Amino acid sequence: MSKVSKTDWKRVVKMADDEIDTSDIPELDEHFFKNAKLVVPLKQPVTLRLDADVLEWFKSQGQGYQTRINNLLRRYMESQQSQR
């Protein structure tokens, strides 16, 4: 996956808010915010033994490799919970 953005950011920065097409994004109304919950799971440092090639592959993807590992573990956990 390429890390290089193909977005013309200089053009985007110069755009006024009313020039941005948001027709495919529903507006968030009071109902949304009334029912919205902010969930920030507590992070806990651990020592985890991983195969060297697995760890190296995640690190080669760039900054944030621990977050990516956590996200994959979370998806696996959620898929296992939904099967029960």
Q: What is the pLDDT of residues 14-70, one digit of tens each?
A: 999 999 888 899 888 898 899 899 888 899 999 999 999 999 999 999 999 999 999
Beta carbons within 8 Å of 31's beta carbon, 6+ residues apart:
none
Tokens 């979370």 appear where?
74
Q: What is the pLDDT of residue 52?
A: 98
Q: If you ran DSSP here, which 8-state letter would residue 45 be given?
A: -
Residue 2 in this model has a pLDDT that exceeds 70: no
pTM over 0.85, yes/no: no
Q: What is the pLDDT of residue 1?
A: 53
